[in-house]
Structure formats: C-alpha cells, structure tokens
Amino acid sequence: MEDNEIIIEHPNRDKAASKATKATVLLLLLVSVALMLIVTIGGWDVLQGAKAVQIAYILIYLIMAFYVSRWNRGVLPVAAALAILLVIFAAVAVPGWLDRDQTGFAQPSIDAGVLAMVTALIIPVQILLIGFAMRGFNQAWNVEIERAVDHGPSHSAPQPA
C-alpha cells in the first residue's frame, strides 16, 4: 500500500499577467521607497513632525515588498490604502516645499524645488501602485489546487500475460 503524495499548485501564479503584476507592484513599492528616502534624507533638517511617519512608511513599504515577492495577496489592499494616504500627504507637501524655495526660509540639504518635484513624483507612482495592487488582488494569487502525484502503474497489480 503506497501513500498518496499531494502536490499543491497555484495555477494563477503561473500566468504571465500575474507575474507581470507582481513584478510591477514590487517595482512601484521600491520606487516609492526610493522617492521617500530622497525626500526624507534631503529634507531631514527642515521636516517638522513628518520624520516618524516617513520612516514608518519606508519600513512598511519594504515589508510589503517582501511579502509581495512571496506571492502574499493579503498585503495588496493594505498597499493600496496606504498609497491613497501617501497621495494625500504628498499633495499637501508639494506647496510647502515650493514655499520653502523662496528667500527667508532655511534650505534643506537638497534644494527645496527639487524636493517639491520628487514629492510630486510620488503622486503618480502611488496612483499606479493603487491600480496594480488591486489588479493583483483580483488575480487570486492565493488559489490552491491539490493534486495527487501519479507514480505510474502499481507494482502490486497483476501484470497481463
């Protein structure tokens, strides 16, 4: 008597569209981290209360990128929700950086106009992240199919003569 081996397959992960969506979400999360790092490091001296929020966002996005790389579908709605909040934060921050580009304000280590542009770039990246995260969520990466391994004909069965 042989034990039946079971293989768990994820058919939706093998699709080209799913692989492309996963790669795009990963790329968008990492680009977001890079843009936030530029703003955080470049404006560190003049950031008021946003330092902790920006560091938290960077860490959370890195953690989400790790889970997306492992096909975890559950973080995708969280990524979309956080991206919505980040769009709002960035939209509010751009005019502040532009105001700081005038005389009489302390200048950050990176020019305030450049930081305004980088902050403005965060907005379309987050909008793309929202769209691709929801696309990935709808692709059902979590679907599993159990399949028994077929070892061929059993040796205990009588052989035809």
pLDDT band for position 1 (cuts 50, 70, 90): very low
Query: Would you say residue 156 lies in a domain?
Result: no
Range of the domain at 114: 8-141
Query: Would you say residue 101 lies in a domain?
Result: yes
Beta bridge partners of 27: none
Query: Would you say residue 155 lies in a domain?
Result: no
The pLDDT tens digits of the residues spanning 111-142 come to 888 999 999 999 999 999 999 999 999 988 77
Query: Would you say residue 150 lies in a domain?
Result: no
The pLDDT tens digits of the residues spanning 19-44 come to 999 999 999 999 999 999 999 998 88
The pLDDT tens digits of the residues spanning 39-87 come to 999 888 877 777 888 999 999 999 999 999 998 889 999 999 999 999 9
Domain count, the chain: 1
pTM above 0.85, yes or no: no
